[in-house]
A and B are shown apart, each in its own frame.
Chain A
Amino acid sequence: MSYRPFLGLVPLAPVDHLILPDLRQAIADFLFLPVKILPTRPLPPQTHHPGRNQYYSTQLLDYLLNDEHGEDPFRILGITAADLYIPIFTFVFGEAQLDGKAAIISTFRPGAGAGEVKPSRSLLLSRLIKLSLHELGHTFGLPHCRQDGCLMGFAANLEKLDQKKTGLCKYCLILLDDYFQSLQDL
């Protein structure tokens, strides 16, 4: 039987399981790719920074790549309720490997874990969809975009994240199309 590429959604430690099916569906609809929710994996303790009480997202990407997922997903998207960081920033919403295989997002800040107004379920889902597609966009080689409202635009806070549309600008659409075309040409 031939291999059909799929995207693996990997919960890292418990994540709101009610939201995962909706997120899975939204990603699949947007990218026209099958998305499977893979078994939950624990958060590796060595990626935790006690002083910051955050998890180091770059190390989590390595963990996602090296962990056994049973099948071989075309792309892996980790999702965690923990707050994430990279050393130069106070926090990150997520991280991805540019033109790589793995990405990760956190539900912590979109879910108002840092003390903002608690969002409605639909707003939380909208934020997570935007973050997931943004980080996955990086894995498809798309850099940050400066077009107004583009999904690949950089959002430094929740307000800016909420202002973004769940869609790519015409340039990023063409570049994404080029990327998939180049994969087919290989």
Chain B
Amino acid sequence: MLPHKKICIMVVDDELSIREAFCDWLKQDGYEVETAAGGLEALAKVKERHYDIMLVDVKMPGMDGITLLKKLKEEDPDSSVVMMTAHGAIQDAVEAMKLGANDYLLKPFELDELSLTIEKLVQIQTLAMENLILKDQIASISRFDNLVGQSPPMLSLFETIVKVAQSDATVLITGETGTGKELVARTIHTHSPRGYNPFIAINCGAFTEHLLESELFGHEKGAFTDAKFTKKGRLEMANTGTLFLDEVGDISMKMQIDLLRVLETHEFSRVGGTTAITSDFRVIAATHQDLQESIRNRTFRQDLYYRLNVIHLQVPPLRERQEDIPLLAKHFLRRYATETGKKIDGIHLESLAAMRRYSWPGNIRELQNAIERAVVVGKGRQIKPGDLPFALTSEGTEEVANLSLGEMERRHIALVLTAQGGHISNTAKVLRINRGTLYEKMKKYGLTP
């Protein structure tokens, strides 16, 4: 499933009683639920955000379910659509399946039909997401590098890291997305007495509750349908080393209870197992969320927060360490120039000035991507302003005044794509359009991730 805590389902049905019944039932099943009384309302909502699963009634006044299905598949192809139709109208279901519906239900359903259908779709989406994560992890291995900076906040952070590394205390790292929290965690690990032992990282926000449980604790053969082999969990793999829990704020309430117990005892058992396993690991956790706020909203346990927040490190955003920008830019330039074999050995002063003016909402990751792009597209010995993504250089220039709306759009999409490392979902989120629309526009402008 996509990296958010709850699976979000939309129910589209013109009958209020049906919508209410679904809403109550699915909420009890732990899902986030929204409803729409018709096709137009549903489409308006889909333009605003992504829904993992859409339950759509075939017979509705105005826009019928089949028309809505076609439009939904255009707007958000990643959303799974389940069509609902009355018994005796099976031909509607057949037509819907031909048009790309993921499943159908005949109303009224038996009690377990709804849960089974949704669980099946969640499982399929989870596998697709796992695939993406694995690809992302492979890509990130080649981008790994050391911390760079000489600004006062970074020098202070380095000092703290050296001190923190010597202790075995739990560390909570906070900071905006793209600031390099994992790099900080790796640096602490490398400088610690555990430095030669494993550093095991897990992105807690990228797994569903059950997958995360299996990833962390491991499982015994036969513990669940797909458990064909016994598998060690990350807690076990981190023995003698460091366990890095990224996006710890996204863990479900139940997993928080389990995690708290493990942090207290360092003892656990695999899913489906009874043997107690002890593992000696140090915990470093990170989040971009405000956990104090999550505690107030009752989505994060206070006791777990205190257990994690023994030492707190705040990684500053790039806009608060502007003096590091030239250093970081040159660091990335050296790396990408070597990798690509291009003879680029400097950054033009105007380019540096443009970089310092820019706010870098995507932080170091965005800067890294901007330099990578500049190295690829650049033709001279220096990175010139024109080699940089559009938003860095165009403010107030005459060039903008001569651009068509389409060209502006193309450049802006290209910029955000680069800033987000080619990640489609994140790019769509920043642009506030859905992924279907983004794909269409990329196709139109010949852009690739």
A interface, CB within 8 angstroms of B: 56, 58, 85-92, 95-98, 138, 143-144, 146, 154, 156-157, 170-171, 174-175, 182
Contacts and interface: CB of A to CB of B under 8 A. Distances in A.
Contact of A58 (B17, B29, B115, B253): B17
A127 B415 CA distance: 61
Contact of A144 (B22, B29, B109): B29
A145 B25 CA distance: 13
A156 B109 CA distance: 11
B5 to A, nearest CB: 13
20 contacts: A58-B20, A85-B108, A86-B21, A86-B24, A87-B18, A87-B108, A88-B22, A88-B25, A89-B25, A89-B108, A89-B111, A90-B110, A98-B24, A98-B28, A144-B28, A154-B111, A156-B110, A157-B112, A171-B254, A182-B298
Going nearest first, the 6 A-B pairs with the smallest beta carbon separation are: A156-B112, A156-B111, A86-B21, A143-B30, A171-B254, A88-B21
Given A96-B28, A144-B28, A175-B253, 10 more contacts: A58-B21, A89-B21, A89-B25, A89-B114, A90-B111, A97-B24, A144-B29, A146-B210, A154-B111, A157-B112
Contacts of A171: 254, 257-258
Contacts of A91: 111
A89 B253 contact: no
B228 interface: no
A156 B15 CA distance: 24
A154 B112 CA distance: 9
Contact of A143 (B15, B28, B107, B109): B28
A182 B30 CA distance: 20
Tell me the interface secondary structure of chain B in the complex. Answer: helix
Interface string B215-248: 0000000000000000000000000000000000
Contacts of A86: 21, 24-25
A90 B106 CA distance: 11
B110 A144 contact: no
B110 A89 contact: yes
A48 to B, nearest CB: 14
Nearest to A86: B21
Contacts of B70: none
B19 to A, nearest CB: 9
B348 interface: no
Contact of A90 (B21, B24, B108): B108
Interface of B: 15, 17-18, 20-22, 24-25, 27-30, 107-112, 114-115, 210, 253-254, 257-258, 298
Contacts of B21: 58, 86-89
A88 B257 contact: no
A16 B375 CA distance: 81
Contacts of B258: 171
Contact of A174 (B107, B111, B114, B257): B257
Contact of B24 (A58, A85, A170, A175): A58
Contacts of A144: 28-30
A143 B114 contact: no
A182 to B, nearest CB: 8
A87 B30 contact: no
Nearest to B252: A171
Contacts of B110: 89-90, 156
B15 A87 contact: yes
B200 to A, nearest CB: 25
A92 B20 contact: no
B115 A138 contact: no
Contacts of A170: 257
A111 to B, nearest CB: 17
A138 B28 contact: yes
Contacts of B17: 56, 58, 87
Contacts of A182: 298
Contacts of A58: 17, 20-21, 24
Contacts of A56: 17
Contact of B29 (A90, A97, A154, A175): A154
A34 to B, nearest CB: 26
Contacts of A90: 108-111
B418 to A, nearest CB: 41
Contacts of A96: 28
